[in-house]
Structure formats: structure tokens, C-alpha cells
A and B are shown apart, each in its own frame.
Chain A
Amino acid sequence: MASTAAAQPQLKKTGSTGFLSRLRGGDEVARLITLLFATSVLIVTALLITELWVSSGPSREKFGFSFLTSTTWNPVTDEFGAWPFLYGTIVTSVVALLISVPIGVGAAIYLAELAGGAWSDALTFLVELLASVPSVIYGLLAIFTIVPMMREFIGPALKTVFGSVPLVQDLVAGPVYGVGYLTASIVLAIMIFPYIISVSREALMAVPREQREAALALGATKWESTWQIVVPFARLGIIGSVFLGFARALGETMAVTMVIGNDNNIHASLLSPGNTIPAILASEFNEASGKLHPSALIELGLVLFLLTLILNGLARLLILVTTRKGSARA
């Protein structure tokens, strides 16, 4: 009784002024709270960049732009260069995409267009399950399955097939350890392809029914309608899925650290051990001493951050370009 009595006059009072009435209605409160959440993203990003920039100061001052191109990483003499790690990060991610994009997009087309309802749902559920497996599990599995397979079977097979092909032979030169760039790429490919499937499938499913029906009505086969009408229509979503996979591959740490071999030298051969930016950060940060070593590691983090920024920019650009083409054709 007392509470309703107390609430009553309040209602009257707030009803009289504009702001408070909206406040009471909840709109203003909701707007303020969500605004706070939205700006928190900005604040975190700004803090992240500031921290990376300030903490990498000693390294940036000492090495300048040569940090990006130097191949020396010597904690004893305090000389640091990012190129072996930048190279390893890009190579493993690109090779992973080369493997997983055809498989992922192909699987998405099957699941969205060709598979029957229940069967498609079951497979999709499994794919989404794969996406939630922690990366350290993929790393462990790789150590016990992919690494021995690479050493005993895949590596030697690649050497026999490509060993005497000009240009390509450099990619399979040297001893086969089982760990290395290619092993890391395969693990990354397995890790990112659930993402590519999921997002691509959503994009394909979102294509309006009329598009397919029109193609079929004009006499196209099921595959022709899928490949020439549905897939081009969904290309933005598919490109998005590829970049999502790429971003994930660039930043993957644990699984890569476990199978890449952690060698800070650059090798042309994909069968050789190497290192990536996230992997060296995980390995060395805890024990980095002095002023320059931690600072150089933080600058590596900054480089990785910039790399993902550039990548995101490229993704936008690509989407912009393909959209214009699409509209021009239409």
C-alpha cells in the first residue's frame, strides 16, 4: 500500500516535464546506457593504441622503419627486427586461406543449396561445434596427428612431386621436420573453415527465392542457378567470411606456437620451421628483460594491429569495388 502511495505523486511530477517523462518511459535511459556501451568500445580501442604506441617507444626510436625489414632478432645484443615474424604471419595465413576457402565455400554451397533440410541442419550443427573448439585442442591434436603425417608422408610426397619443378622446388626444399609453416597453415585452415562455412552459408541462404526461381524458369539447371545466380548474389557475405577467417588466422596464437617450430630465421621452404608475431609474443614476453626486448615485442603487437587494420580497409575496398561492378551490370 505504502509503495503505491509513494509512486503516485512521482508519476504526476515526472509527467509534467519533457525530459523526465521520457526518462520515465525508459527511452532516454536506454539511449544513455547503450551510448555508454558503444563509447566503451572506442575508449578501449583508443587505450589499446595509446598503450601499444607508448610502450613500444624505446624500440621505435632505436630502430625506426628498419624494424619492419630487419631479419635479426637477438635479445643478447639487443637488436630486433620484425620481418621473420611478419613474413611467417602472412605466409601461414595466406596458405591457410588457399586451403580453406575452396573447401569452406564449397561446403557452404552444398549445405545451403544442395543438401536436404535435416541433413543440412545436422552438418551445420557439427560445423558450428567445430568453431567452438578451443585452439589449444587443435594444437594438441596437430602435434599427435598432423605433425607425424607431415614428417612421414605429406612432406616426402610433396618433395617427390614438386622437388624438381623449377620455382616450386624452393617451396619444398630442405629437411622435413614435421613442424613448420605448412603444418601451421594446415592447422589454421582447419580452424578457420568452420567460420567460412557458417558465414558463407548464411549469406547463400539469404539470397531471395525469386532469384533461384527466375533462373530455373529460364531453363537453367540447378547447378547453373546456384553457380551463376546465387553465389554471385551472395558474394559480399562470402568475401566477408574469407576476411573473417583471415583475421582469425593472423591472430591465432596457441595452435600455431605448438606446430610452427619457433625458429626465428626466415626460410623459403614451406616445410621449414618459422615463427609468427602472436607465437613469438606468447613465447618471449614473460621472460623478456631489459628495456628494448619487451618494447620490441610490444612493437610487434603494434605491427600486428596495423596489419589487421590494413586488412579490414582492404576488405571494405573490395566490397565497395565489387558492389559498384554489380550495380553497373544490373
Chain B
Amino acid sequence: MKRIYCAASLVSLLFAGLASAAETINAAGASFPAPIYQKWFEEYKAKTGVAINYQGNGSSAGIKLLTDGTVDFAASDVPMTDDQIKAVKIKPLHFPTVLGAVVLTYNIPGVTADVQLSGPTIADIYLGAITKWNDPRIAADNKGIKLPATDIVVVHRSDGSGTTGIFTDYLAKVSPAWEKKVGRGNSVQWPTGLGGAQNAGVAGLVKQTPGSIGYVELIYAVQNKMGYASVKNAAGKFVKPSFEGVTAAAAGMKEMPEDFRVSIANGPGDKTYPISSFTWMLIPSQISDPAKKKAITGFLTWMLTEGQKDAQALSYAPLPPAVVAKEKKQIALIK
């Protein structure tokens, strides 16, 4: 069955390549939403015949390719900075697509219960200021759990990543010390700890190293059935990461700015999971080729309506209706 499917898709790929070479659109960027983007592009192609090639080679790589004019549009887990936007010849527009979250996973010998952590504590662990699992500040949030006197081994990403961007943005919001000493970025100067490549590298190090703590994407943790910590949100409630928590974070957002460049880390709301973020497609505001313009705007409209229904099945949180309505207006700005 599988083989027939493979053969069929190969054949269809071949024909698609022959038939609509002119209609092919190239895009690149964030790896975190790549699974849903691939599914979207596949469905959209089946529906309209427009082929969109997507390379999930990283947010910064996507922005670089967009700046060089190598791709028709890009995708990123963190919004572009003003300088980055200025560097692109045709001003790009931000279109939020779905939401995701970053979770903290850990390996504490002898502890099977779910651990609860507050933002400043996480920041101090990653700053190297809290070094033992039985530190009073961790213990205060975890009454009833007997924490060992084990050394904390901090694990972070070794490669530049939008996941790191989302995580450090959150830490900078909850800890002035973090903002001052480290700051936010897809790559930062980590004061301490081990680096692992990609989600798998971080997860592997955490699994292997007793006393370790690391951060991965929610989807990765769910797919690999890893345990993860509840995090205290701005309302003072501990929330276990989930799609509901991420959706609540988006709904709690007071106002979406005109350019959609917004961080919802540590947002308000009782049910909000605080380390949540939008992920964006970066679309040029001017597309000279009319066929490409039609294809891209058509895709965006479809993505905001039909496409959103795919989100939950693939473990992403869909956009709140207010954001969808606002984005539909922005599509008209593409000239």
C-alpha cells in the first residue's frame, strides 16, 4: 500500500514538474512550523495546482534568502527587526500562521512528579545562579516533592534557532538580570551549560544526563512523550504546556499591532501558558509576477480559512479569529 502511494506521489511529482514549472514558488525558513507548512503546500497544490517548495532550514536562513531575493517568501519564528526589514529591497509583511510553545524538560533522579517552575527561577537556573535541584526557590514552588541535592546541568541549543529566540525572549521579559547579561536572540552567549544540536540533541542530552534541564518545542515533546514542567504565568497560576494554554496566550493578547510583529511571551490570562509564540510567514509587499502574486495571495486566504483546520491535528494552536480577520485585510496590501 505504502509502496503504491510512494510510486504514485513520485509519478505525480514528475508530472507536476513537467506541467507547471512556471507556477513553482520557492520559500524557506523556520523549521518549527515546517511539518504543517508541508501539509498545507501539499493540500493547496492538490486543490489549485500551485506548487510551493519549502525548505525548513531555519528562521535566520530564511530571512537571509529573502534579503538576497533567492526565495519568493520566507518564514520565521521570531519577527524581523527594523534593520532586517530595511535590508530587504521590497518591504516584507508579517503574516502569523499558527502558534507554538517552548517547554522545559528535565531529568531529576528520583523525581517522577511534575515539577513546577516560575520564570525568574528558570532564568536564574540558565544564568548559573541556581545550581542545585533542592535550592529553596525551586522547593518553594514544589511543595510535596522531595527534590535531591543533585547539581543542575543546564542544556541549551548549540545551533541558532527560533526556539532559542522564543525562549530567551521569555526569559528577558521575566528577568531583568537575564535581559542585561544575556538578552534575546536565536543564538546567545550562554553563561553556562551544555549545547545540543536541534530538539533531538537537547532531548538526548537531557535523557542521558542526571540532573539536567533543557528546552524543546512543545510539538517535539508531545511527539516523543517527554515529561515537561508547568510554568507560572503572569496571573500567578502554574500552567502545564498544552494547545489550550497556547490558544489562551493568543486570546489574551490585548491588541495586535498593525505590522503583526508581537511577542506574546508572559502574556495575561489565567489559562495562558507563558512561553508561547506566533510563527510568521514573511511575504514581500510587492510581487511583480502577476501569476505568483495570485498564487501567494490565494494561498494566504486559503491558509487563514481552510488551512487553520489542520493545525490541531498536527499539534499546533490555530490563530484566534480576530487575528485571522486582521490578516485578511493585510492580504489586500500586497501589490
Which residues of A line the B interface, CB within 8 A?
A: 72-77, 143, 147-148, 151, 175, 177-179, 257-258, 261-265, 273, 275, 279, 283-284, 286-290, 293
Q: How far is the CA of A182 from the CA of B299 in the complex (A)?
A: 52
Q: Mark B171-214, 1 if CB is under 8 A from A, else 0.
A: 00000000000111111111111111100010011001100000
- Does B58 touch A at the CB level, under 8 Å? yes
The one of A148, A258, A287 that contacts B186, using a Cβ cutoff of 8 Å:
A287
Q: Mark B54-69, 1 if CB is under 8 A from A, else 0.
A: 0001111101100000
Total A-B contacts with CB atoms under 8 angstroms apart: 91
B195 touches A283 (CB 8 A): yes
A293 touches B187 (CB 8 A): yes
Residue of A nearest to B183 (CB): A76
Interface of B is mostly: loop
- Does B277 touch A at the CB level, under 8 Å? no
* Given A257-B197, A263-B190, A283-B197, A76 and B185 contact (CB-CB distance below 8 Å): yes
Distance in Å from the Cβ of A262 to the closest Cβ of chain B? Answer: 3
Q: How far is the CA of A72 from the CA of B182 in the complex (A)?
A: 12
* Given A179-B194, A262-B195, A147 and B63 contact (CB-CB distance below 8 Å): no
- Does B305 touch A at the CB level, under 8 Å? no
When A and B form their complex, which 3 residue pairs have the shortest distance between CB atoms, in order from nearest? A287-B160, A262-B195, A262-B158
Q: Can you list 14 A-B contacts with CB-CB less than 8 angstroms, sorted by A residue number?
A: A74-B188, A76-B183, A143-B208, A175-B153, A178-B209, A262-B194, A262-B195, A264-B189, A279-B158, A283-B158, A286-B159, A286-B160, A289-B60, A289-B186
B194 touches A264 (CB 8 A): no
Q: How far is the CA of A72 from the CA of B187 in the complex (A)?
A: 13
B197 touches A286 (CB 8 A): no
- Does B286 touch A at the CB level, under 8 Å? no
A289 touches B63 (CB 8 A): yes
Beyond A178-B208, A262-B197, A289-B64, 7 extra complex contacts between A and B, CB < 8 Å: A74-B188, A179-B205, A257-B158, A263-B190, A265-B192, A288-B160, A293-B187
Distance in Å from the Cβ of A5 to the closest Cβ of chain B? Answer: 46
Q: How far is the CA of A275 from the CA of B190 in the complex (A)?
A: 13
* Given A178-B209, A289-B64, A75 and B195 contact (CB-CB distance below 8 Å): no
A287 touches B190 (CB 8 A): no
CB contact list, B26-70 vs A, under 8 A: 57-61, 63-64
* Given A75-B160, A178-B208, A287-B58, A263 and B187 contact (CB-CB distance below 8 Å): no
Distance in Å from the Cβ of A177 to the closest Cβ of chain B? Answer: 6
Distance in Å from the Cβ of B14 to the closest Cβ of chain A? Answer: 30
A284 CB contacts on chain B under 8 angstroms: 159-160, 187
- Does B270 touch A at the CB level, under 8 Å? no
- Does B84 touch A at the CB level, under 8 Å? yes
A262 touches B160 (CB 8 A): no
Which residues of B line the A interface, CB within 8 A?
A: 57-61, 63-64, 83-84, 151, 153, 158-161, 182-197, 201, 204-205, 208-209
A177 touches B209 (CB 8 A): yes
B209 touches A287 (CB 8 A): no
Q: How far is the CA of A2 from the CA of B148 in the complex (A)?
A: 93
A151 CB contacts on chain B under 8 angstroms: 209
The one of A177, A264, A287, A290 that contacts B153, using a Cβ cutoff of 8 Å:
A177
A287 touches B189 (CB 8 A): no
Tell me which of A74, A258, A263, A275 has the highest count of chain B C-beta atoms within 10 A of its own C-beta.
A263
A76 touches B159 (CB 8 A): no
Distance in Å from the Cβ of A84 to the closest Cβ of chain B? Answer: 11
Q: How far is the CA of A273 from the CA of B209 in the complex (A)?
A: 13
B197 CB contacts on chain A under 8 angstroms: 257-258, 262, 283
Q: How far is the CA of A290 from the CA of B63 in the complex (A)?
A: 10
Q: How far is the CA of A275 from the CA of B194 in the complex (A)?
A: 10
Q: How far is the CA of A214 from the CA of B197 in the complex (A)?
A: 58
A179 CB contacts on chain B under 8 angstroms: 194, 205
Distance in Å from the Cβ of A186 to the closest Cβ of chain B? Answer: 17
B159 CB contacts on chain A under 8 angstroms: 283-284, 286-287
* Given A178-B208, A286-B57, A288-B60, A261 and B195 contact (CB-CB distance below 8 Å): yes
Q: How far is the CA of A279 from the CA of B159 in the complex (A)?
A: 10
Distance in Å from the Cβ of B29 to the closest Cβ of chain A? Answer: 11
A289 CB contacts on chain B under 8 angstroms: 60, 63-64, 84, 160, 186
A262 CB contacts on chain B under 8 angstroms: 158, 194-197
B204 CB contacts on chain A under 8 angstroms: 143
Residue of A nearest to B63 (CB): A289
A76 touches B160 (CB 8 A): no
Distance in Å from the Cβ of B183 to the closest Cβ of chain A? Answer: 4
Q: How far is the CA of A293 from the CA of B64 in the complex (A)?
A: 12
Residue of A nearest to B162 (CB): A287
Distance in Å from the Cβ of A155 to the closest Cβ of chain B? Answer: 12
Residue of A nearest to B211 (CB): A175
A265 CB contacts on chain B under 8 angstroms: 191-192
B182 touches A76 (CB 8 A): yes
B194 touches A287 (CB 8 A): no
B64 CB contacts on chain A under 8 angstroms: 289
